[in-house]
Amino acid sequence: MRKTLVISGGTRGIGKAIVEEFASNGVDIAFTYNSNSEIAENIVAELSEKFGGKYKAYQFDILQPETYKELFKKIDEDFERVDYFVSNAIISGRSVVGGFGPFMRLKPKGLLNIYTATVVSFITGAQEAAKRMEKVGGGSIISLSSTGNLVFTPNYTGHGNSKAAVETVVKYASQELGEKGIRVNAVSGGPIDTDALKKFPNYEEVKGEVVKRSPLSRMGLPDDLSGITYFLTTEKASWITGQTFIVDGGTTFA
């Protein structure tokens, strides 16, 4: 029987790369998008033509994590099971104003939005996914993270502390869900060249620094994270849980 992935934020960057990776490995996929339904439906059509599985897109606002319950009810109507959950969606633009900036300019609303999108949404999404996974004998839950909680990144206090928090939640969740056959891990990327990163006002500076620091002399790409994300859902990773895997081109140590 084909297995099913649920992933938040599957239309761009890292999320899209993960969707394509799982689809290429015969996994059915329910993915969310924020606002552009046309892009989402185009991806569904492309995946269906290329891989022949079942794919469906759902509108979802990551800043309203309580609506995960309704989202999963819709997914239940369209898919027979849930085996994997990847929390990937992030926020940018106006919603991070006050959360992305120098320490002395940080404001509660922006900080809370980042924490909600990163930590609270992971918890609520994972809770709903775990209920479904328990019914099919187990599964795998993964949160995307970043090395911004390990390496100083200008203006990244709000994001960095939330990434550190979600990695701690991963450890706790792995302890409590293990008896249900559910493994929980995080994949932490160094700066990955995506549209979201390009929105950073210091994008060129960040890119130059990453290329200089990495012994591989390049920026990370979305495909650099999709493979390990898929691997962590397979039987070859069956004794891996509660861990954070750093994929950074060697930049954290440099």
- Show which residues are catalytic: 156, 163
Name the 3-class secondary structure at 20.
helix
Length of the chain: 254
Strands in 108-193 per DSSP E: 139-146, 182-189
Residue 251 CA to residue 147 CA, distance in Å, equals 9
DSSP per-residue string spanning 59-88: E--TT-GGGHHHHHHHHHHH-S---EEEE-
Q: Which residue has the tokens 């569904």?
A: 44
